[in-house]
Amino acid sequence: MQLTNYTEYALRVLLFLGALDEEEKTNIKDIAAAFSISEHHLSKIVHELGKLGYIETIRGRNGGIRLAKRPEEIVIGAVVRETEENLSLVECFAAHGNECVLTPVCRLRFALHEALEAFLRVLDAYTLADLLEDRASLRSLLKERRG
Q: What is the pLDDT of residue 147?
A: 54
Q: Tell me how far apart the alpha carbons of residues 106 and 87 are, in angstroms, rounded to a whole number.
A: 19
Q: Tell me how far apart the alpha carbons of residues 140 and 113 are, in angstroms, rounded to a whole number.
A: 40
Contact 145, 15 (CB under 8 A): no
Among 7-16, 32-41, 82-91, 124-133, name the one with the lowest average pLDDT: 82-91
Neighbours of 139 (CB within 10 A): 17
Of the pLDDT bands very low, low, confident and very high (cuts 50, 70, 90), residue 145 is: low
Q: Is the pTM of this model over 0.85?
A: yes
Q: Average per-residue pLDDT in the chain? A: 89
- Helices and strands, counts by H and E, the chain: 7, 2
Among 5-9, 103-107, 142-146, name the one with the lowest average pLDDT: 142-146
Domains of the chain: 5-146 (1.10.10.10)
